[in-house]
Amino acid sequence: MFNSFWGKFSKDLGIDLGTANTLVYCKDKGIMVNEPSVVALNSRTGQIVAVGRLAKDMIGKTPAHITTVRPLVSGIISDFEVTEKMLKFFIERIHHGGFAMMPRPKVVIGVPLDLTEVERKAVEDAALNAGAREVYLVEEPMAAAIGARLPITEPVGNMVVDIGGGTTEIAVISLGGVVTWKSLRVAGDEMNKNIVNYARENFSLMLGERVAENIKICIGTAMELDEPLEIEMRGRDMITGLPKEILVNDKQIRQALARSVKKIVESIKAALEITPPELVADIYERGIVLTGGGALLKGLDTVISNAAEIPVRITDDPLTCVVRGAGFLLDDMRLLQTVALPSSQERQQEIIGAFS
């Protein structure tokens, strides 16, 4: 009773808790937070120095007593306390300037497909400790499909490929559930590592992670372009130890990314192979939908389409698709109850009931 009463006044939130970026959607206000999932901590005092974009700018530039932490690895919480602090920081930012007695928000969070019971409970506990009233977990491809306005509750096949920072999630959705799926630890962060390794092996050049990411965004491609692209690659010469700059082109970066692109394409084909024929027929007609930041890699949709022989399209604003889907669920409680994963508390009660 009190939950329903306070719910009328709370700022309910949809959260895309990503490896690379955390996005927060506030009901009736839209996306209010879009920040890197990075926290800078003072090891002497244990206090937070910076969160989000400010903390990311500090990576590789901090003194010994300040450490920059990525609390999520491959979409999974690797540092519970830091994740909790980060979520609390973002929730308080949204509630800043509100009433002193502002009720705790209901929160919908997008999570990877292959999350274990323990990992699921860690996400729920982090959100509850950060200030949430209720927590609902939704699989990221499902949230992305809702954000892309796909008819997920109808008896038709919808194939969603969500390429994030830590994971690529491939799912075939029908009648409000995931029918077949694949999840792999090859996504945006792995592509950055590909460029770092390529520079080290071919040019004896040590690159920073942010430099590699910028090169990927500027000239990274999955297929040959009509006009060649070039960019300066700056780092430390491994032989002399001195700063060094070389000019690289899109062909070289394409070679660096080729292995990761191939793995993603092969996983999509493998998911199609285990999909029921009726749903494959729907996918052939409707096409594959790409979401997530990795979908913005130039030419990736064409490469997937040629390999799978199925039309592929990139959804509008793929970076925010998951959080928009989570935000949409805040207004549709019936659909939320249909697609949400069982909470860890419900699972515990079921186990206790089974043995009692």
Using alpha carbons, list the distances in angstroms from residue 344 to 14, 120, 196, 252, 289: 19, 7, 39, 47, 31
The residue ranking higher by pLDDT, 7 or 18, is 18
Q: Do domains 150-186+262-319 and 188-257 have the same CATH topology?
A: no
Look at residue 30 in the predicted model and tell me its pLDDT: 93
In tens, the pLDDT along 29-65 reads 999 999 999 999 998 988 899 999 999 999 888 899 9
Q: 169 in helix, strand or coil?
A: strand
**Does the pTM exceed 0.85?**
yes
Is the domain defined by 2-143+321-355 classed in CATH 3.30.420.40?
A: yes
- The CATH class that applies to domain 150-186+262-319 reads alpha beta
In tens, the pLDDT along 187-223 reads 999 999 999 999 999 999 999 989 999 999 999 999 9
In tens, the pLDDT along 89-127 reads 998 888 775 444 567 899 999 999 988 899 999 999 999
Spatial CB neighbours of 45, under 8 Å, sequence gap ≥ 6: none
pLDDT at position 2 over 50: no
In tens, the pLDDT along 167-191 reads 999 999 999 999 999 999 999 999 9
In whole angstroms, what is the distance from residue 130 CA to residue 92 CA? 9
Task: Indicate the average pLDDT of the chain.
Answer: 90
pLDDT at position 86 over 60: yes
Q: 158 in helix, strand or coil?
A: strand
Helix (H) or strand (E) holding 106: strand 106-111
Look at residue 320 in the predicted model and tell me its pLDDT: 96
> Would you put residue 228 in left (φ > 0), alpha (ψ -120 to 50) or beta?
beta
Is 175 in contact with 154 (CB distance < 8 Å)?
Answer: yes
CATH number of 188-257: 3.90.640.10
The residues spanned by each domain of the chain are: 2-143+321-355, 150-186+262-319, 188-257
In whole angstroms, what is the distance from residue 24 CA to residue 96 CA? 14
